[in-house]
Amino acid sequence: MFTTRTPRVVAARRLHRRRDRDETGRFLAEGPQAVREALAAGAVVEVFATPEAVRRHPDLAAGASVVTDDALAALAETVAPQGLVAVCRRVDVPLEAALARRPWLVAVLAGIRDPGNAGTVLRTADAAGAGAVVFAGEAVDPYNGKCVRASAGSLFHLDVVRTPQVPVDALRGAGLRLLAADPRGPVSLDQADLTGPTAWLFGSEAHGLPAQTLAGADARVRIPIHGRAESLNLAAAAAVCLYASASAHRSKERFL
């Protein structure tokens, strides 16, 4: 049984650090749901499981490296780990490959640093039927443990793209209309044209979208606030925008 000192456990534990994830091209996925989706995607290199997890999840732990509870706790980042952690290969794809699939809905995270928000947007984009999520500029690492957990497996369902800047020209060249989510935007969401292929641009809660990105958008769209709340947080705002696009897209399809 592997312990905290077993070399493979030690090596896997280093993947908590971004530097090691970047150098190895690997990351950790924790918990039954994430491991299940990683296995289905063919992204798993190795699974670590406690004896209890092997009994509870024989389908996920087949061929797993059995570890002590202490070793699993060292690999996990949650307070109460569920006994399974997988070492996975990174799944991001080049922007050109993602756009070649002609997605009708794309979420662009421009400089978003909070991993929980980023992972939640990944999950929401997947649920809304988006084809890709682009992590642009100084955005958080999509393979950050908190981001992976917040995505609840959706990281493995759609195209994840990483780019040094918001790829305005490439997105528009792929036939996508660029809509910037902006609380001061002149166009209200309930008046925006969402029927065509769309790329939503989301900025950080603290700083919003850069001026250059706003200037490159086809429209700046605000979510109307009907109550007394000052605003919505990023994850909630993204959910509203992405589902509004999904609703418009499906309504259009029904009439075609």
54: containing domain: 7-89
pLDDT band of 10, cuts 50, 70, 90: very high
Q: Are residues 85 and 127 in the same domain?
A: no
Q: Are residues 248 and 148 in the same domain?
A: yes
pLDDT in tens, 148-171: 999 999 999 999 999 999 999 999
Q: Are residues 238 and 205 in the same domain?
A: yes
pLDDT (0 to 100) of residue 233: 92
Alpha carbons 30 and 34: distance in angstroms, whole number: 6
Amino acid at 86: A
pLDDT (0 to 100) of residue 254: 54
- Domain CATH code at residue 173: 3.40.1280.10
pLDDT band of 180, cuts 50, 70, 90: very high
pLDDT (0 to 100) of residue 205: 80
pLDDT band of 222, cuts 50, 70, 90: very high
Residue 54 lies in a domain: yes
Q: Are residues 65 and 186 in the same domain?
A: no
Q: Are residues 236 and 110 in the same domain?
A: yes
pLDDT band of 70, cuts 50, 70, 90: very high
Residue 195 lies in a domain: yes
Number of folded domains in the chain? 2
Extended beta strands in 95-246, E state? 105-110, 132-136, 159-163, 177-181, 187-188, 198-203, 219-222
Whether the per-residue pLDDT at 228 is higher than 70: the answer is yes
Alpha-carbon distances, residue 116 vs 2, 47, 75, 100, 133 (angstroms) = 31, 24, 19, 29, 15
Residue 153 lies in a domain: yes
**Across the chain, what does the average pLDDT equal?**
95
Q: Does residue 152 come out as left (phi exceeding 0), alpha (psi in the -120 to 50 range) or beta?
A: left
pLDDT (0 to 100) of residue 204: 86
**pTM surpassing 0.75?**
yes
Closest CA to 194 of 244, 236, 124: 244
Q: Are residues 60 and 156 in the same domain?
A: no
Among 68, 89, 110, give the residue marking a domain's end: 89
**Residue 239: phi, psi to the nearest 5?**
-60, -45
Segment 57-73 mean pLDDT: 96
pLDDT (0 to 100) of residue 206: 76
Residue 218 lies in a domain: yes
Whether the per-residue pLDDT at 252 is higher than 70: the answer is no
Report the percent of the chain where pLDDT is more than 90. 91
155 close to 91: Cβ distance less than 8 angstroms: yes
pLDDT band of 140, cuts 50, 70, 90: very high
39 close to 157: Cβ distance less than 8 angstroms: no
Residue 200 lies in a domain: yes
Alpha carbons 199 and 105: distance in angstroms, whole number: 6
pLDDT (0 to 100) of residue 249: 85
